[in-house]
């Protein structure tokens, strides 16, 4: 739970509003828990000078699943024992009234934020030794980032045997913290160093090889789907899935590419096909059914987690007075899922005629889209514009203007996006693109 507070920048003295966390519910607000364990809780960038201000405030952490309740009154606040007890008592009023259990009467105490973080991680099975190792990894990553090009090559060679997935991921975590702290420039430097480490280390080369193999598999499955054409039937997809029953990587790629196809009707079809199949073939259907169910559950769980995370990010943006600062702090979390959640909330607010919320959601949407477009190739931005155009004639005008500058490259991008839309079952949008592609090719002439 966040409370609005007025704070004064420690660097320039400019006052500004911030939402300070006083209570974290690990189940209801996993994003807040993530901020805590990554040492980003109650850190606010000054809108005037960009300085990051750390607000030390009493904090109550609750994890109902682990029956863990921790109160932290930082000793830097110099509260007396009586003051601490009163503050903790006030914090505990935020606990849910229903299902009150014995552990909730006597919270554990943490004297520092680091102590609180270690207790939270410890409850998650992270030992002090693991925390110490993570600190050493972070220090080593920092050393890599600060090195010159020649020094970096030497460091990679010297520590090659120590470079693993955890080490590579530490670069990403550090970059995310820097973005949240208002230092996207430093985050870019960290990611640039990570790219060099991946390129030149033994483990990084293995990762690149694995990624190339996975991409080749996905492309092969996508090619087979495309070869079926827009008129592919469920029976065709069922036959393809049966072809992949002993190739789990391709089967998983198939589910990932056309997840909406695998609905109740598809499984009814599989059941009928199994019934008609000879006894020698029935085990294959049983195995396919099991594997598909596993992959679908995994993909749906991942999708739900992405949606839950996007909802938390959007909520934090709505609660932040400074929209630009909120977007900068959550830039790493901006993706298609967040855009979809943002659109859904905007439509719902408009349906309820909630003018204030609609206005803020619209402002967030416009800024987020602008941020995404800054990093997108011009051709992709043009395709996004023509898909959102109010009429086909408006879209034609965008294509004609774009063709003058980008030529066949624009057609190639349109074709790629049309294929993606076909695979996602978004026929309304893909049909518009296919019409525009045909017209653009005709305008270019036979050589297109």
Task: Tell me the DSSP string of 288-311.
Answer: HHHHHHHHHHHHHHHHHHHHHHHH
Q: Which uninterrupted H or E stretch holds 7? A: strand 2-8
Q: Per residue in 330-366, is it b (16+ CB within 10 Å) or e — as a string? A: bebbbeebbeebbeebbeebeeeeeeebbebbeebee
* Alpha carbons 3 and 61: distance in angstroms, whole number: 15
* Alpha carbons 94 and 89: distance in angstroms, whole number: 10
Handedness of CA 354, 359, 360, 362 (dihedral sign): positive
CB atoms within 10 A of CB 444: 13
Q: Does the pTM exceed 0.85? A: no
**CA distances in angstroms from 175 to 193, 205, 282, listed in the order given:** 11, 22, 51
Instruction: Transcribe 168-193 into DSSP letters.
Output: HHHHHHHHHHHHHTT-HHHHHHHHHH
Kindly report each contact of residues 271-280 with a partner whose C-beta sits within 8 Å and lies 24 or more positions away, as own/partner: 273/238
Which residue is associated with the tokens 């690990």? 26
Which tokens is 184 given?
């996207």
Judged by phi (left if over 0) then psi (alpha if -120 to 50, else beta), residue 152 lies in alpha
What pLDDT is attached to residue 301? Answer: 76
Q: What is the pLDDT along the chain (448 residues), one digit of tens a residue?
A: 567 678 888 888 888 888 889 999 988 888 788 888 878 788 887 877 777 888 899 999 999 889 999 999 999 899 999 999 999 999 998 888 787 888 888 899 999 999 999 999 999 888 888 888 888 999 999 999 999 999 999 999 999 999 998 899 888 888 877 766 666 668 778 888 998 999 999 999 998 888 888 888 988 998 898 888 777 888 999 999 999 999 999 999 999 888 888 999 999 999 999 999 999 999 999 999 999 998 898 888 777 777 877 887 888 788 888 888 888 777 767 877 888 889 889 989 898 888 989 999 999 988 888 877 676 678 888 888 888 888 888 888 888 888 888 888 888 888 888 877 776 667 677 788 888 888 888 777 654 4
Helix/strand/coil (H, E, C) string of 353-401?
CCHHHHHHHHHHHHHHHHHHHHCCCHHHHHHHHHHHCCCHHHHHHHHHH
Kindly report the backbone phi and psi dihedral angles of residue 44, in degrees, each rounded to the nearest multiple of 5, phi listed first.
-135, 130
* Alpha carbons 278 and 283: distance in angstroms, whole number: 10
Which tokens is 217 given?
């598999």
Q: Which of 28, 30, 10, 32 is nearest to 19 (CA)?
A: 32
Residues 6+ apart with CB under 8 A from 26: 33, 61, 62, 63, 64, 65, 66
Which tokens is 288 given?
């396919």
Where exactly are the structural domains of the chain? 2-126, 129-200, 206-304, 320-374, 378-444
């Amino acid at each position: 739970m966040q409370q609005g507070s007025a704070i004064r920048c420690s660097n320039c003295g400019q006052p500004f509003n911030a939402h300070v966390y006083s209570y974290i519910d690990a189940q209801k607000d996993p994003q807040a828990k993530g901020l805590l364990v990554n040492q980003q809780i109650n850190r606010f960038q000054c809108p005037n000078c960009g300085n990051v201000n750390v607000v030390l405030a009493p904090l109550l952490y609750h994890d109902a699943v682990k029956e863990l309740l921790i109160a932290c009154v930082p000793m830097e606040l110099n509260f007396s024992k009586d003051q601490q007890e009163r503050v903790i008592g006030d914090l505990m009023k935020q606990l849910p009234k229903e299902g009150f259990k014995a552990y909730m009467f006597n919270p554990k105490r943490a004297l520092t934020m680091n102590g609180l973080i270690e207790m939270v991680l410890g409850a998650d099975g992270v030992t002090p030794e693991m925390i110490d190792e993570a600190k050493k990894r972070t220090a080593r990553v920092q050393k890599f980032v600060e090195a010159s090009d020649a020094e970096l090559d030497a460091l990679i060679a010297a520590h090659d045997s120590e470079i693993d997935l955890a080490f590579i991921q530490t670069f990403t975590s550090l970059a995310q913290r820097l973005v949240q702290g208002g230092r996207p420039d430093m985050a870019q430097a960290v990611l640039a160093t990570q790219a060099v480490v991946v390129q030149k280390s033994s483990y990084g080369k293995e990762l690149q090889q694995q990624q190339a193999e996975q991409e080749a598999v996905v492309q092969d499955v996508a090619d087979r789907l495309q070869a079926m054409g827009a008129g592919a039937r469920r029976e065709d997809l069922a036959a393809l899935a049966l072809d992949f029953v002993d190739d789990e990587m391709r089967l998983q790629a198939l589910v990932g590419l056309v997840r909406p196809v695998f609905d109740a009707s598809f499984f009814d079809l599989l059941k009928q096909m199994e019934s008609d199949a000879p006894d020698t073939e029935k085990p294959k259907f049983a195995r396919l059914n099991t594997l598909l169910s596993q992959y679908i559950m995994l993909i749906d769980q991942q999708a739900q987690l992405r949606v839950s995370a996007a909802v938390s990010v959007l909520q934090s943006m709505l609660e932040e007075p400074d929209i630009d600062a909120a977007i900068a702090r959550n830039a790493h979390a901006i993706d298609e899922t967040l855009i979809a959640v943002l659109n859904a909330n905007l439509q719902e607010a408009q349906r309820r005629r909630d003018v204030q919320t609609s206005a803020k959601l619209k402002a967030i949407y416009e800024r987020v889209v602008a941020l995404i477009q800054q990093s997108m190739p011009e051709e992709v931005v043009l395709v996004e514009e023509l898909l959102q155009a109010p009429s086909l004639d408006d879209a034609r005008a965008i294509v004609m203007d774009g063709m003058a500058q980008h030529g066949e490259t624009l057609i190639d991008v349109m074709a790629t996006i049309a294929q993606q839309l076909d695979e996602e079952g978004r026929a309304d949008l893909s049909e518009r693109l296919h019409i525009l592609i045909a017209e653009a090719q005709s305008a270019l002439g036979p050589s297109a």
